């Protein structure tokens, strides 16, 4: 049977979640707070698990963004280099 301290550690109020979501909406602060919540020394609670999952999604999104920028950035650069230069040699 769990004690009152363990039960209060697991339950978060709506206000707690609103503050959590507000802090994670601020750039740079979100990385710091997610790291603190995910790897802090607090006992297992919903915020800790949610922070770990959010960090995994954030890392996945950053990796996909970098890959897409490299692929499409290279393709766009090559298209710009191979396009005709209408300023130097007008086509009319």
Is the pTM higher than 0.85?
no
pLDDT value at residue 89: 67
Chain-wide mean pLDDT for the chain? 84
> pLDDT tens digits for 24-50?
999 999 999 999 999 987 777 889 999
Cα 16 → chain centroid:
20
Express each pLDDT in 41-91 by its tens digit.
777 788 999 999 999 999 999 999 999 999 998 888 888 887 776 666 666
């Amino acid at each position: 049977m769990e004690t009152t301290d363990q039960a209060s550690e697991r339950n978060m109020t709506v206000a707690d979640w609103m503050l959590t979501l507000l802090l994670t909406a601020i750039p740079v602060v979100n990385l710091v707070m997610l790291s603190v919540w995910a790897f802090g020394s607090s006992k297992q609670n919903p915020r800790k698990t949610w922070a770990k999952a959010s960090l995994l999604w954030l890392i996945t999104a950053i990796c996909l963004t970098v890959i897409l920028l490299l692929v499409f950035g290279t393709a766009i650069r090559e298209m710009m280099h191979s396009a005709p230069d209408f300023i130097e040699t007008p086509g009319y």
